[in-house]
Amino acid sequence: MGQSSEEPAGESPGFPGVARQPRVSATLRATLLAFAVTMLTCLLSGALKSMAGEIAAIWLANALLLGQMMAAAPAQRYWVLAGGIAGNMAANLLGESLAVSLSYTFADTLEVLIAFSFAPRMTTIAELLRPKALIRFLAGGVILAPLVSGVLACTLLREQLSGNLLPNFANWFVSDALSLAIFTPGALVLWSGEAAQLLRGERRVKTLGLLLLVCAVTTGVFAQSQFPLLYWALLPIMLLAFQADLASVMVGLLLCLAIAVAFTMHGIGPLWMYPYENMEARIFSLQLFLLAALGIALPISATQVSRSRLVGLLREGERRYRILAENATDIVMSVTLDGRLTYVSPRAQTVMRRDPDELIGEYFPDLVIADDRDALATAIEKLATGASEVSQVSRFRRPDGQILWLETYLRPVIDPFSGQPETLTATARDVTARKAAEQRLAEERLELQGLAYRDGLTGLFNRRHFDRELEHQWRHLAEAEDSSFTAVVMIDIDAYKSFNDHYGHQRGDDCLRTIAQAIALSARRPSDIVARYGGEEFALVLKDTDLHGARRVAERIRLAVEALQVPHLASPAGVVTVSLGVAAQQPRQGGDASGLVAAADRALYVAKRRGRNQICVSESDDAGLGSLA
């Protein structure tokens, strides 16, 4: 049986609490860690009270607790807050009364909650430095939270604080605001695990070297009080900003601050060269100095990180492009706007039998045969003047003499700033096999067309082609301005059935072919249409020919057939002869092509009735009944 749907997801059916144990353990560790860190930092900051009266000049606890809450999982945040509150209370109780401890803890807790409401959970410092998130953090966490907590603390502790409340409020606000601004990003680096990653990355040696340089320079600057070298401490931090990531910069700033505070508290360092009133002023000045360094270094580092990411994306894009180009079945090329090749993929070696490096700098149209160069050059010019894409099929001669057909697609690469083409990309595909197939298809189409309009026995046009061409000529002349004639000659072999019966069908077919050749040779003009009309009957269409001219052609055909002297014992003439009917008409005068054919056909039958081997001409205007010419 399966697991019951009522059992909590993620828990073992036999041990319901097993799945919760890791979460409970992690939450307990986070709570205890928050308690310990907050208590220790409160005690550390409290030790500075002797330098600044009742208000510590550096308050680390709130920044570290805020950073831990930001990096914690949603289920752990308020447990972390609870641990921080307990740690804060425990530290205050070691030196203060319960009422004072409660006042300090309440003010600090309110400050952390307000700051956290403006700085939600983040996993990296880069998220904190995004414009919107950074503005929210500075406005709510650095300004509003210390302002509210300062007012609350001074109000609750007005009996315990000596002197005027305004200076005490100012000290509280400045120390907490500076500490939150400086230490919260550092705490986020610590709690998110980015600091630990510095020792695991590929650049750890370089990063550690730069951090050591920060420590060495900072020590050199603050270990003496004779020269005003304060701003020399900025140089290694700026170098770190240019060469390392954001987490490294924050670690470097914290190391710089720790070294500077240690020397300054012992009365050494460049800050002792200036006439500050007390230690409090020096510590505030030191924090302002580090805040300025932070304001300079972090934007530089963020810019460098973005630049490195963009460079990485460009390199990755170029790598992928080269992988695609070098493994593509097409030839990939980069072309300047004037047609010069700047890159050719290795596929050119296989397809074109040319070394790609040798083609760099060549004028692309020069690679194709002379008849195709102008078309390819024109296509490139179109892209340079605004076309979005062109394709061109060109012939290329390989070194071994073979002609290749290459289909090239060209596209412009647009400059994102000017919006104008800056270069071209081209992909060339070998379509030689396709062109050969197209050529074969064209030849087959012509052959099929010939079969559709040719008579298979005689090689002359068939009746379908005869009817189509006659109709076309008739419509053309009917719409023309002149009054040209169109003539039709109908031809029939005399006594052909008797020839077949006497000599057989094989000899009959030979006779048809012989007669067809004689007729075709007698129709001498290219525009004359000679067709086998059906059986032993043939027909001619004579363009721009009147009755007189048509009769001359018909007589030439009759004589040519008679001169063949093809034996025909079943015919009174003893040889094969033909009878012919002729008709001619002006299409502009009306009627239609079928009427003209009918007139010539009637004239043919008149010729056959009158004894065969003769011509009969239809002389009526409407191509009516023919009469003997």
**C-alpha to C-alpha distance for 218 and 437, rounded to whole angstroms:** 79
CB-based burial label for 257 (10 Å; 0-12, 13-18, 19+) = buried
Tokens 């006497």, residue located:
502
Residues contacting 384, CB < 8 A, separation 6+? 337, 338, 412, 421, 424
Query: What is the SS3 assignment for 302-329?
Result: HHHHHHHHHHHHHHHHHHHHHHHHHHCC
Amino acid present at 184 = T
Residues contacting 515, CB < 8 A, separation 6+? 493, 538, 561, 564, 566, 576, 578
Copy the structure tokens of residue 31. Answer: 């709570």
Copy the structure tokens of residue 512. Answer: 């048809």
3-state helix, strand, coil in the chain (%, to 5): 60, 15, 25
Helix (H, G, I), strand (E, B) or coil at 57: coil
Q: Residue 111 catalytic?
A: no
**C-alpha to C-alpha distance for 45 and 92, rounded to whole angstroms:** 11
Pairing status of strand 390-397 against strand 403-414: antiparallel
CA distances 35 to 88, 104, 359, 481, 586, Å, are 8, 16, 71, 111, 117
Copy the structure tokens of residue 158. Answer: 């007005």
What are the two backbone dihedrals, phi and then psi, of residue 149, each rounded to the nearest 5 degrees? Answer: -65, -35
Nearest to 585 by CA among 623, 615, 553: 623
Task: Count Cβ atoms below 10 Å from residue 274 Cβ, excluding itself.
Answer: 11
Residues contacting 136, CB < 8 A, separation 6+? 118, 119
Amino acid present at 435 = K
Residues contacting 204, CB < 8 A, separation 6+? 198
Copy the structure tokens of residue 84. Answer: 């921080």
**C-alpha to C-alpha distance for 514 and 568, rounded to whole angstroms:** 14
User: 280, 469, 536, 619: which is the annotated catalytic residue?
Assistant: 536
Copy the structure tokens of residue 181. Answer: 């601004």
Residues contacting 211, CB < 8 A, separation 6+? 240, 248, 251, 252, 255
Asked if residues 35 and 86 have their Cβ atoms less than 8 Å apart, the reply is: yes
CB-based burial label for 176 (10 Å; 0-12, 13-18, 19+) = buried
Amino acid present at 237 = I
Rg of the chain (C-alpha set): 52
Q: Hey, which residues are catalytic here?
A: 536
